[in-house]
Amino acid sequence: MEITIKLNEQHIEDVFVTAIEGGSNYWFDFNYKDVAEVRRVCEEDNYRDSLCMQIYYAVFRKGLKLPVYDDWSEEQIGVLDVTNFGERLQNCMDNHPEAIYNTLFENGDANDADIIFEYLCINELVYG
């Protein structure tokens, strides 16, 4: 039996905000050049908000492919790319359904956001 669930845009936004502001910020980083590009994309649309919301907007709504770096080694470890979110969310659901269900039913916390964000960035759970 197959069950299909749908995460809406608000769920993805919540994951971005929770992960970037606290659930995942111990393992990843963005470089200054890429953050400047996020800000440029947002300025084109006169979109002003916190940096985590600008990152969400640039990636999810504008299709910016944002490289993600390991916080310690500074090596690129992945890319936030909305075109592969479906596949990566499915992979997360297959391996860590509790994170998806907790988010879906608004019981998610920083740990759940970190798990989902890792899948969105690198398509596996490495740090959490």
Q: Among 79, 88, 81, 68, which residue's Cα sits nearest to residue 27?
A: 68
Q: Domain segments of the chain: what residues?
A: 9-122
pTM (predicted TM-score): 0.91
Q: What is the pLDDT of residue 128?
A: 78
Q: Per residue in 103-112, pLDDT tens?
A: 988 888 999 9
Q: Per residue in 43-63, pLDDT tens?
A: 999 999 999 999 999 999 999
Q: Cβ distance 89 to 46 under 8 Å?
A: no
50: tokens are: 């916190």
Q: Cβ distance 9 to 56 under 8 Å?
A: no
CA–CA separation, 79 and 31 (whole Å): 12
